[in-house]
């Protein structure tokens, strides 16, 4: 029997809807990972993105450079344009064109 664990404060984590189109092979692997780990898709996607973001040294350097900006500049960079509620929007017109999340 598996171990049941509840993460304290997890329900208070702010959530934002992310809409993205991913390749079929990635979707299949994601589904397989959900089955294998016995976790829902939202959890697996969050963990994968958290890992990817933490491992990208170039992005982490950029994030650190923002920390040195004044609050007004930091807010201007972090705030999406007016009317936009999407976190990341990639439009591709050809299959397998290499669009990234």
Backbone torsion region of residue 9, taken as left when φ is above 0, otherwise alpha when ψ lies between -120 and 50, otherwise beta: left
Looking at residue 69, its pLDDT comes to 82
User: Does a structural domain hold residue 96?
Assistant: no
CB 18 within 8 A of CB 11: no
Instruction: Report if residue 12 sits inside a domain.
Output: no
3-state secondary structure of 84: coil
Flag whether 5 is in a domain.
Answer: no
**Total tally of structural domains belonging to the chain:** 1
Per-residue pLDDT reduced to its tens digit, 43-87: 899 999 999 999 999 999 999 999 888 666 656 666 655 444 444
The answer to whether residue 73 is domain-embedded is: yes
């Amino acid at each position: 029997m598996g171990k049941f664990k509840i993460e304290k404060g997890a329900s208070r984590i702010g959530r934002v809807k992310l809409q993205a189109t991913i390749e079929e092979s990635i979707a299949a692997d994601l589904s397989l990972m959900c089955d294998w780990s016995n976790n829902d898709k939202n959890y697996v996607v969050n963990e994968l993105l958290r890992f990817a973001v933490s491992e990208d040294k170039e992005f982490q350097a950029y994030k650190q450079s923002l920390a040195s900006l004044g609050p007004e500049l930091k807010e201007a960079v972090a705030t999406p344009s007016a009317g936009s509620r999407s976190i990341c929007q990639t439009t591709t017109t050809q299959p397998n064109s290499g669009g990234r999340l």
